[in-house]
Amino acid sequence: MLHRVYLSPGMFGFGRLASYDYFGHVERALSERLRGGGADVRIYVLDSSPTASIRRRAVRLAETIATTCDVPAPGGGPIHLVGHSTGGLDARLVAAPGASLAADTPNLEWLSRLASITTVNTPHFGTPLAAFFTTVSGQRVLRTLSALTVIALSVGAPPLSIVSALVAAIGRVDQALGLEIGILDRTTEALLRRLDDVRSREVRSYIDQMKEDNGAMVQLMPEAMDLFEAGIQDPPGVVCQSTASMAPPPSPQTVLRAVVRPQNALSEAMFAILNGITSREDASYPCAPPAMYGENQRVLMRAFESIPDASANDGVVPIRSQVWGKLVWAGYADHLDVLGHFHDPKPGLFRTRREENPPHVDWLMSGSGLDRGLFTTIMDAIAEGMMEGARRRA
């Protein structure tokens, strides 16, 4: 039986850009596991505006599925949705019973074949970082950080001068000390010049989409997600599962490491700033479910020995905000580690460094310690839930 898997990226995410597959590690891992379980697999990566409204992104997801699933009837084989970060909200909205997406929403008969929804480090209850990204300066920071993500993953470490300028700029913005917006624009331009003409045009187009539609940032604020949670229901009979992680709090050792590894130290400083913004608490909108109990509570206890406090986060999303449905994995990892973007100097078994495409690259240095073994554990847990969902639909 053919399983169709749809991968939806989040606020820093993309499908394929600048010759780099953002979901490359996840795509390979899930394909291997599903095939190992006796299934045929076809995987699709959603191409959508990274910061467009959740509703618009959900419509795009619905369109992609409707035009690629071949047979809308139940006999067409199981469908699985996997969303990272904001992408998890796209999946939840498109599958929510009674959700009104748009007047021209394509045929949704394929929902009868939906077997599983997996959300990976998704801000189900919002993130304090979204409020920062809705400001004029914050929007510039988001675009620059996104460009840095593409360049760091596809080309390699950018010059220290560019990274240090970005770290200083974000720090000044967050402290409300005032900032010449041109600094961020010039930093973005300097990053884009690291690419050849073709890839530069691709990334510029990607950045321009953020300028045109920044709706998701407003919707990801904790106050807005409070309303989302009140109005969205989970589809009956579908496996709904999530992963959640946090990174260790930044430590003073970051400064000491700058002497030996200045590039890494600047990346760590950038993570520390994002972590600090994300750790802010609002008692009225705590970015967390009303209560943590049952098996989900036990999963967190096994991973951390106690329930993480409200400030714990992966650098982008508070860990409590990531818990939804059945929590199938929790551990130490940052927002990009969970997709395979972690430091791993060794190629995979029977593969050379050149053959491993994409290679494991860690530009957001959080010190989480996630490695190939733990990434395998995450993918095993996700695939197991997907297969369970398929069995229910059989």
Secondary structure of residue 325 in the 3-state scheme: coil
Assigned token pair, 33: 């596991």
Report whether pLDDT(256) > 60.
Answer: no
What pLDDT does residue 354 have? 43
Q: Which of 135, 138, 130 is nearest to 184 (CA)?
A: 138
Instruction: Report the phi/psi class of residue 158: left, alpha or beta, with left for phi > 0 and alpha for psi in -120 to 50.
Output: beta
| For residues 75-99, average pLDDT | 93
Q: Which residues of 172-204 are buried (b: 16+ CB within 10 A; e: fewer)?
A: ebbeeeebeeebbeebbebbbebbeeebbebbe
What pLDDT does residue 262 have? 54
What pLDDT does residue 351 have? 43
Where is average pLDDT lowest: 61-65, 192-196, 236-240?
Answer: 192-196
Q: Which residues contact 161 (CB under 8 A, 6 or more apart)?
A: none
Residue with tokens 């650098």: 315
Query: Per mean pLDDT, which of 102-111, 179-188, 213-222, 321-330 is the most reliable?
Result: 321-330
Q: What pLDDT digit, counting tens, does each position of 320-376 carry?
A: 999 999 999 999 999 999 999 887 766 544 344 444 556 777 777 788 889 999 999
For the chain, what percent of residues have pLDDT higher than 90? Answer: 49
- Residue 97: pLDDT band with limits 50, 70, 90: very high
For the chain, what percent of residues have pLDDT higher than 70? Answer: 78
What pLDDT does residue 174 have? 57
Report whether pLDDT(286) > 70.
Answer: yes
- Residue 259: pLDDT band with limits 50, 70, 90: very low
| For residues 224-235, average pLDDT | 94
Where is average pLDDT lowest: 32-41, 56-65, 193-202?
Answer: 193-202
What pLDDT does residue 345 have? 67
Say which residue, 100 or 378, is predicted with more confidence: 378
Element housing 41 (H / E): strand 40-45
* Residues composing the chain: 394
Say which residue, 294 or 154, is predicted with more confidence: 294
Q: What pLDDT digit, counting tens, does each position of 298-325 carry?
A: 999 999 999 999 999 999 999 999 999 9
What pLDDT does residue 18 have? 57
| For residues 15-42, average pLDDT | 87
What are the sequence ranges of the domains in the chain?
2-127+224-251+286-393
The pTM score is 0.88
What pLDDT does residue 157 have? 60
Q: Which residues contact 322 (CB under 8 A, 6 or more apart)?
A: 119, 121, 122, 123, 124, 242, 243, 244, 245, 314
| Third-level CATH fold of 2-127+224-251+286-393 | Rossmann fold (3.40.50)
What pLDDT does residue 57 have? 92
- Residue 394: pLDDT band with limits 50, 70, 90: confident
Mean pLDDT of the chain: 83
Q: Are 271 and 167 in contact (CB under 8 A)?
A: no
- Residue 141: pLDDT band with limits 50, 70, 90: confident
What pLDDT does residue 62 have? 92
Report whether pLDDT(78) > 70.
Answer: yes
What pLDDT does residue 387 have? 97
Where is average pLDDT lowest: 5-19, 191-205, 324-338, 339-353?
Answer: 339-353
